[in-house]
Amino acid sequence: MTDLPILQIAGLRKEYGSFVALKDIDLKVREGEFLTIVGPSGSGKTTLIKLLVGMEEQTEGSIWLRNIRLDRVPANQRPTCMVFQSLALFPHRSVGQNVEFPLKIKGVPAAKRKARALELLAMFRLPESYFDKRIGQCSGGERQRIALARALAFDPEILFFDEPLSALDYRLRKTLEKELKALHLRTGKTFIYITHSLEEAMVMSDRIAILRAGRFEQIGTAEAIYNHPKSCFVAGFMGDVNLFDIGRDADSGSLTVPHFSISASAAKALVLPPDKKNTLMVRPEAVRLLAGDETADFVTRGEVTGHYLLGSRTQLEITQPDGKLIVVETANHGQDGHVGAAVRLGFDGAMAHLISEAIR
């Protein structure tokens, strides 16, 4: 993967009458990158992918493929390919005919078409005997592989994916996530993937772009967004999280977090930007139960009101005196607090992240 942008979006905007679906969309995608766009329903994911593949036209802005204005190229002439959620396979054609179809459109001779189709089937671990098999005889996972093989037959520069795994069961979805990631590494193609599943995005992507109300809220690696979100929205969207209001006492100027005691070193280390809404973010795995005289930079008390086994982990819900809920995740070693237990808990400043947002 190089640092050269293969796709560049500048000032993209899409309006449907008075409704603005996308606004101020700027994005550079590196060649060979696996970029996943995630966001809640209504955030603009589907609209964006339609603009990128040429199914709709933008109201403003431009889309570039290297030095070519991609948005001025007809959809059927673009060096890109789309894998739809519905897969859009031809049920009346065989597996081989489906995979060959893009090559047939290009006028590739029959013998070469078949050889390439068999090569692609082998890449997706489908035996040669599947060439003459009907689509209706294939399982859901096999159909996914066939759709991917057909997409690669185009030899596109960019592959777009519109939630292709959303209709599959959990185990098959997890298998295909790994296969897609491995396929990306083998081919070196640029993948742009749309999904509502944060888990899919974190497993497969080089970078994640989070859409909110038609704008990119944050773009970065999964690790960067998970540990250093730019907003409370992103923090919550990226998984379970604890968010605490943090400020300074009007009289003493000391750092305050409701119902927490704070060590002097942690208070000194935190600098709160003025005229901002400041929130301290801590992931559940960074919070721990405190035994005996054990301490931490931030310490509070509460009652265990929820206890959930999550395979190798245990999740506790602990309620503070004011009713605020704190989520804690620990290794599942059978020594965690039971429901109704009074506990001390805390976290260290190095494990917390300060989010400062404009006051609205």
What CATH number should be reported for the domain holding residue 264?
2.40.50.140
CATH number, domain containing residue 78: 3.40.50.300
> Which tops the pLDDT comparison, 332 or 270?
270
Question: Same domain for 212 and 65?
Answer: yes
Please, which pLDDT band fits residue 209 given cuts at 50, 70 and 90?
very high
Q: Which of 6-20, 157-171, 216-230, 236-250 has the lowest mean pLDDT?
A: 157-171
Q: What are the tokens at 219?
A: 């773009």
Please, which pLDDT band fits residue 288 given cuts at 50, 70 and 90?
very high
Q: What is the pLDDT of residues 49-58, one digit of tens each?
A: 999 999 999 9
3-class secondary structure, 252: coil
User: What CA–CA distance (Å, rounded) separates 279 from 232?
Assistant: 8
Q: Are 298 and 346 spatial neighbours (Cβ–Cβ below 8 Å)?
A: yes
Average pLDDT over residues 266-294: 93
Give the residue ranges of DSSP H helices in the chain. Answer: 45-53, 95-105, 110-123, 140-153, 170-187, 198-204, 222-227, 232-237, 264-269
Q: In the listed set 233, 248, 265, which residue is the last one of a domain according to the structure? A: 233
Q: What is the CB-side half-sphere exposure of residue 12 using CA atoms within 13 A?
A: 27
Percentage of the chain lying above the pLDDT 70 cut: 98
What pLDDT is attached to residue 184?
92
Question: Same domain for 173 and 292?
Answer: no
What pLDDT is attached to residue 336?
64
Return the amino acid letter for 246: I
What pLDDT is attached to residue 334?
55
Question: Same domain for 213 and 245?
Answer: no
Beta partners for 357? 277
pLDDT surpasses 80 at 40: yes
pLDDT surpasses 70 at 278: yes
Torsion angle, CA of 194/198/199/203, rounded to 10 degrees?
60
Beta partners for 347? 298
- Number of structural domains (the chain) is 2
Question: Same domain for 200 and 219?
Answer: yes
Q: What are the tokens at 226?
A: 């998970």
Please, which pLDDT band fits residue 76 given cuts at 50, 70 and 90?
confident
Question: Same domain for 146 and 54?
Answer: yes
Question: Same domain for 55 and 193?
Answer: yes
Question: Same domain for 227 and 258?
Answer: no
Q: What are the tokens at 315?
A: 């999740």
Q: In the listed set 186, 217, 233, which residue is the last one of a domain according to the structure? A: 233
pLDDT surpasses 80 at 345: yes
Instruction: Provide the edge-to-edge strand list for the sheet that holds 158-162.
Output: 80-83, 158-162, 190-195, 34-38, 207-212, 215-220
Q: What are the tokens at 290?
A: 């405190």
DSSP structural state of residue 139: -
Average pLDDT over residues 6-24: 96
Q: In the listed set 233, 254, 279, which residue is the last one of a domain according to the structure? A: 233
Question: Same domain for 120 and 28?
Answer: yes
What pLDDT is attached to residue 196?
85
User: What CA–CA distance (Å, rounded) separates 243 from 224?
Assistant: 17
What pLDDT is attached to residue 3?
64
In which element (H, E) is residue 50 found?
Answer: helix 45-53
24: containing domain: 5-233
Give the residue ranges of DSSP H helices in 129-197. Answer: 140-153, 170-187
User: What CA–CA distance (Å, rounded) separates 112 from 100?
Assistant: 9
Q: What are the tokens at 122?
A: 């082998």
Average pLDDT over residues 36-63: 94
What pLDDT is attached to residue 262?
95
Q: What are the tokens at 355?
A: 């989010």
Average pLDDT over residues 194-205: 89
pLDDT surpasses 70 at 1: no
What pLDDT is attached to residue 194?
92
In which element (H, E) is residue 48 found?
Answer: helix 45-53
User: What CA–CA distance (Å, rounded) separates 186 from 184?
Assistant: 6
Among 267, 245, 265, which Cα is nearest to 255's?
Answer: 267
Question: Same domain for 17 and 101?
Answer: yes
What pLDDT is attached to residue 2?
55
Average pLDDT over residues 278-289: 96
Question: Same domain for 209 and 318?
Answer: no
Question: Same domain for 320 and 302?
Answer: yes
Return the amino acid letter for 354: L
What pLDDT is attached to residue 179?
84
Question: Same domain for 71 and 118?
Answer: yes
Q: What are the tokens at 51?
A: 């603009």
What pLDDT is attached to residue 197?
84
What pLDDT is attached to residue 176?
83
Q: What are the tokens at 254?
A: 């000391």
What Cα–Cα distance (Å) separates residue 227 from each residue in 36, 58, 108? 18, 34, 49
Average pLDDT over residues 338-357: 94
Burial class (CB in 10 A: 0-12, 13-18, 19+), 285: middle
> Which tops the pLDDT comparison, 313 or 86?
313
> Which tops the pLDDT comparison, 359 or 8?
8
What pLDDT is attached to residue 205?
94
What rounded mean pLDDT belongs to the chain? Answer: 90
